[in-house]
Structure 1
Amino acid sequence: MKAHSAIRLFAALGLSAAVGLAHAGAVDALKKFNNDSDGLSGSFTQTVKSKKKTQTTHGSFQILRPGLFKWEYTKPYKQTIVGDGQTIWLYDVDLAQVTKSSQNQAIGDSPAAILSNKTALDSSYTLKEDGSSEGIDYVLATPKKNNAGYQFIRIGFKGDNLAAMQLKDSFGNQTSISFSGLNTHPSLSRSQFRFTPPKGVDVLSN
C-alpha cells in the first residue's frame, strides 16, 4: 500500500471540488508560478482516500527544473522518490527495496510533470478558474488526453504562492496535498538528485 500511495503522488494529486466563487487571477498565478520557478522546495502533507481506507503521510520535497525531483516521506514510514531526469528511483526503507522506472513512462502528463517541467502545463491541460476555499484560489486542470488515468487536477494558490494540489483518479481515489514552508528559489544542484541504491537492498525494475 505504501508504494502504491507514493507512486500515486505522481499519477494522482487531488481531492474534492471547492465551493464559492473564483477569485480572478488563479490561472494567472499558476502561469506566473510555472514561468518564474526554476526550483522549489518545502514540506507537504498528503492524504489519499480510497473506498476502503484513508492514509495521511508527511515529508519534504525538492524540485529543480527541468525534470529533477526528490520526494521524501518521513511519517508514518520512510520512503524516498528521486527523479534524476531519466529514471525514477523509489526507495522503501522498511522493505530494504529499490524500484526503478523510466521517468517519461512513469510520470507522463501527470501532476509531477507540472511541477518539474514548464512545458507540461499548456501542452497537456485545459485550465479554468475553479472557486475558492479557506483562502485558497483553485485552478481546474483537465487533461487533454482521455487516457490520462485521472479525472482532474486542482491546483490551489494563496496569492502567488502554491498552496495545494488535488486530484481524483479514474478509480475514484482522491488525493490531496497541502504545501508549507515553500522556497521558490532554493539553492539546488543537479548532483543532489543522483541516487545510488544502498548496499544490501533489492533493486527491482519496472
Structure 2
Amino acid sequence: MKKITTRLAACVLALSAATVHAGAIDDLKQFNNDADGLSGSFTQTVKAKKKNQTSSGSFKILRPGLFKWDYTKPYRQTIVGDGKHIWLYDQDLKQVTKSDQDQTIGDSPAAILSNKSALESSYSLKEDGSAGGIDYVLATPKRNNAGYQFIRIGFKGGQLAAMELKDGFGNQTAIRFHGVNTKPNLSKGAFKFVPPKGVDVLSQ
C-alpha cells in the first residue's frame, strides 16, 4: 500500500508540474495575451565574423507599435518608435535618423515585442529546448525575405528572459532581459520624440 501511495503521489506531482508549466509556446501565448506594455533593462551581445560587441540599457514598450530603447553602454543611443516613424538618436554623433516605422522594422524583434499578432502571423513556432533554466521557442520566418534566419524567444518562470536571433548575414545577437515589468504605467507621450536643438536630422 505504501508503494502504491508513493507512486500515486509522484504521478499527481508530475501532472501538477505539467499543468503549471505547459511549455515555452504556451508561455509566449500567455505573454502576448496579458502584456499590453513592457519595461525593464537589457544586455545585448552581437557576434559578428570579425568582433563581438556588448551593449546595455533600458527599454519601454506600449502595445501596439510604440517602443523606446535607450542604450547607455558603451555608447549612448536612443531608438524610438512612435507608431509612424522610427527615430534613431546617436548622442556622440549629434545625429538623428528618421525613417518610416512599417518599412523599417518589418518582421524584426522590435515588431514582435511591440505587436501581439506579429509573431504568429510572420513566423512558424516550435519548442526549442531549455538552457540555463530558460525555455525557448524557435521562430522561423514564413517568408524567404524576412531578414532573419531565425529568432529564439526564451521564458523563465513564465517571464520573458531572452531573445536570440540570426540575421541574413550570419550575425548573431543575444539579448538578456532583466527586471521585466508587464504592467508598467506608460502613456503614449513617453514615445514622442523631438530632435534636440543643434543635431542633424536625416530622413530615409
Question: Scaled by the length of structure 1, what TM-score is found?
Answer: 0.88
- Secondary structure of 2:121's counterpart equals helix
The one-character-per-residue Cα deviations of 1:103-127 (angstroms, maximum 9, x if unpaired) are: 0000111111110011112211110
Mean CA deviation greater in 24-33 or 54-63: 24-33
Q: Once the 2 structures are TM-superposed, how far is the Cα of residue 159 of structure 1 from its aligned partner? A: 1.9
Q: Give 1:190's aligned residue.
A: 188
CA distance in 1, matches of 2:85, 2:187: 17
Structural mapping, 1:157-196, within 5 Å: 157-196=155-194
Kindly name which structure, 1 or 2, has the bigger radius of gyration based on alpha carbons.
2
How far 1:193 moved relative to its partner? 0.3
Is residue 119 from structure 1 mapped to residue 109 from structure 2 by the alignment? no
SS across alignment from 1:51? coil
**What does 1:24-43 correspond to in 2, within 5 Å?**
24-43=22-41
Deviation of 1:200 (Å): 0.2
- For 1:108 and 1:35, the matched residues in 2 are separated by 21
Query: In percent, how many aligned pairs have the same letter?
Result: 78
Name segments (4+ residues, structure 1) moved above 2 Å: none
Aligned partners of 1:114 and 1:169: how far apart in 2? Answer: 15
Query: Number of aligned pairs?
Result: 184
Paired position in structure 2 for 1:65: 63
Shift of 1:138: 0.2
SS of the aligned residue for 1:186 comes to coil
**TM-aligned CA deviation for residue 102 of structure 1:** 0.3
Post-superposition shift, 1:51? 0.3
Partner of 2:43: 45
Mapped to 2, the partners of 1:138 and 1:78 lie a distance apart of 30
Q: Which residue of 1 is the match for residue 106 of structure 2?
A: 108
Matched residue of 1:172: which SS? coil
RMSD, aligned α-carbons: 0.8
Number of the residue aligned with 2:146: 148
In 2, Cα distance between equivalents of 1:157 and 1:142: 17
Flag structure 1 segments of 5+ consecutive residues without an equivalent: 1-22
CA distance in 1, matches of 2:150, 2:73: 27
| 1:119 partner amino acid | S
Q: Which amino acid aligns with 2:129?
A: G
Q: What stretches of structure 2 of length at least 5 have no aligned partner?
A: 1-20
Q: Which has the higher helix share?
A: 2
Q: Aligned to 2:136, which of 138, 145, 150? A: 138
Q: Cα distance, 1:24 vs. partner? A: 4.3
Q: For 1:57, give the aligned amino acid.
A: S
CA distance in 2, matches of 1:161, 1:195: 29
Provide Cα deviations, 1:68-118, integer angstroms capped at 9, x if missing partner.
Answer: 000000011000000000000000000000001100000111111110011
Q: 1:93 is matched with which residue: 73, 91, 104? A: 91
Give the counterpart letter for 1:195 in structure 2: F
